[in-house]
A and B are shown apart, each in its own frame.
Chain A
Amino acid sequence: MATDLLVVEDLKMYFHTRDGVVKAVDGVSYTLNKGETIGVVGESGSGKSVTAMTMMRLIPMPPGKVEGGDVRFNGESLLTLPEDKMRAIRGNRIAMIFQDPMTSLNPVYRVGHQLAEPLMLHKNLSKAEAWKRATELLEMVGIPHPESRVKDYPHQFSGGMRQRVMIAMALACDPDILIADEPTTALDVTIQAQILELMQELQQRTGSAIIMITHDLGVVADMADRILVMYAGKAVEYGTVDEVFYSPSHPYTWGLIDSLPRHDMTEKGELCPIKGQPPSLIQVPSGCSFHPRCPYAKDRCRTEIPASRTIDGSHVAACHFAGDPGFTRTEMACAGVNVG
């Protein structure tokens, strides 16, 4: 394939802290192309946000340290780029929006100023041109009365509006990739839907690729082309959205899907969360990190780290038994912890 837009290859990044080594990102791989959306799914602490921050080189090093792997943007390695070249990419070619819109905007600057900042920095626009563009951006993300709103301060906007402003700010320079780190988690349910709709619409228009980081399978079902499921810093399953949803091959993915309340449940039906807690990233369980919570775990799972097994084409899963004929969901992950 012609150079992929973004290639993440076996990326490893650990934090070296006083209490021990935190294996925050421990072997993540995926590819992203123009116009595509990938959904990175996992619980809190799975490393999904940290992976994105590592790509953008926003992790302070120390205590962080890249222990292996690479991230290539248009063929060029991001991890070894000199800082000034990286700065030219941030906010410009690759942009990021964060989880909490209430605190992600600087309270002492007008919204127009914050939108104009990347434009003046990366595109060399004059202040007047940048502010004009800022107004256009506000309109693009659906903020009413943009000409007057552009002069307002962040505290004069509601949460949903602020997130729209964040999106506008990220898209200001027409980035090739937009990284959205849990963009809707802090918002009301109804606003969530609006924001996601907006993002899809904008993607159609600008053709940028999106990395959607979330713990919510429902969010990615609609938007993503591919899905990466992460657990304890590792990628446990990767494939197209259809493959992952209709042919999930890793017990953790099964657990995630099972834990979604089904619309055909009766009132008396029980909810089925995955038993147990995500592991501490300092003391990752031996072998397969999911084995303490996996109903299918065998002895092998305790001792051997599973390699990534190909199920079908690019659909892979990191389980010893993934893809084996007959290895299908028989037990619910909530039915009992297999301490094996």
Chain B
Amino acid sequence: MKKDSPQMQQEQDRKTAEATAAADTAYDALSASPSRTLLGDAWHRLRKNRLAIVAIIWIIVMVIAAVTADLWVPQRFGDPITINTQTLTADRLLPPQLAHPFGTDDLGRDVFARVVYGARFSLAVGLIATAISIVIGLVLGALGGYYGGFTDTLIMRTADVFFAFPYTLFAIALVAVLGPGFINVFIAIGVLGWPSIARVFRSSIFSVKSQDYVQAARALGASDIRIMSRHIMPNSVAPIIVYGTMSIGGAILTEAALSFLGMGIQPPTPSWGYMINASTKFMTTAPWLMLWPGFAILTTVLSFVLLGDGLRDALDVKMKD
């Protein structure tokens, strides 16, 4: 190539432009005012999302109601759990009214009280089971993502095996094997959720790992753990937050399905899924019985879904389903 040919000049043009841009960016960075942190930025964006705010408020209301239930429910509405065979027939299957805002069930128990108590269990499952999934998923995803190679293949193949099972079906099978009862529900749902989390986290790690600033850190002699905690984790956390939030909704739905089939928490302790099942017998005589637990599930899960959507927009996470 001749030294002064057009190609050479164009090449140099580009290099000049790049050099200028890089210098300017560095200059701006040094002299710029301190920007908001990632979380601060995200919170600011989230606040603008009205649906997400409503969702957060509703979740907080429910959590408070559920946690403090023992303090105010039985006093006003009677015992939602124990079966009192002496309840008057007149008090059974009452339609919604002032004393019983959701009516009473076939055993005379106040439905509103039962719904609130059902919330305790559903929310607990949602949060705890998802927490279990996240812990397992993070650990395995981290191992696979960071070390790659055989570890990674092994973990991913195992995840594939889990993925081959339809989720709810797997839950049913697990609970069938472990036996009904609430601890087993926690375990079953918790154990099933890890592959998705692991996958999301792992792909986060892979994309971050290849970024230049990680190479730079390594070149500066940073240890593996340091790189993980300082560079990889903060950047990979966003998708986990979003996915985790949405998983809570999924966990609650799965628990409801298990309870509906009679495999969840056993009566007389109330659970929303079971309440729906029990109410089908009274479809014609007391149709409202079916509505309340269903709405409870719907609004709870919807809140987590909307919150998850909002978080995804706020944290600007691009996730491929």
Residues of A bordering B, CB below 8 Å: 189-190, 192-193, 215-219, 221-222, 259-261, 263, 271, 273, 277
Contacts and interface: CB of A to CB of B under 8 A. Distances in A.
Closest CB pairs A-B (n = 3) = A263-B4, A273-B20, A261-B12
A18 to B, nearest CB: 12
A192 B7 contact: yes
Given A271-B16, A271-B19, A277-B24, A190 B7 contact: yes
B282 to A, nearest CB: 53
Nearest to B14: A216
B4 A189 contact: no
25 contacts: A189-B10, A190-B7, A192-B7, A193-B6, A193-B7, A216-B10, A216-B13, A216-B14, A218-B6, A218-B9, A218-B10, A218-B13, A219-B10, A221-B6, A222-B6, A260-B12, A261-B9, A263-B3, A263-B4, A263-B8, A271-B16, A271-B19, A273-B16, A273-B20, A277-B24
Nearest to B23: A273
Interface residues of B, number: 16
Contact of B11 (A189, A215, A259, A273): A189
A2 B9 CA distance: 39
A219 B5 CA distance: 11
Contacts of B88: none
A259 B16 contact: yes
A193 B10 CA distance: 10
If over half of A's interface residues share one DSSP class (helix, strand or loop), that class is named, otherwise mixed; here it is helix
Given A189-B10, A219-B6, A263-B9, 16 more contacts: A189-B11, A190-B7, A192-B10, A216-B10, A217-B13, A218-B9, A218-B13, A222-B6, A259-B16, A260-B13, A261-B13, A263-B3, A263-B4, A271-B16, A273-B16, A273-B17
Contacts of B7: 189-190, 192-193
B7 to A, nearest CB: 5
Contacts of A221: 6
Contacts of A259: 13, 16
A285 B20 CA distance: 21
Most buried by A among B8, B12, B14: B12
Nearest to B4: A263
Contacts of B17: 215, 273
Contact of A261 (B6, B16, B20, B24): B16
Contacts of A216: 10, 13-14
Contacts of A190: 7
A260 B6 contact: no
B131 to A, nearest CB: 39
B234 to A, nearest CB: 29
A134 to B, nearest CB: 31
Contacts of B10: 189, 192, 216, 218-219
B38 to A, nearest CB: 22
A235 B266 CA distance: 78
A184 to B, nearest CB: 8
Contacts of B19: 271, 273
B31 to A, nearest CB: 13
Nearest to B25: A277
Nearest to A43: B17
A222 B9 CA distance: 12
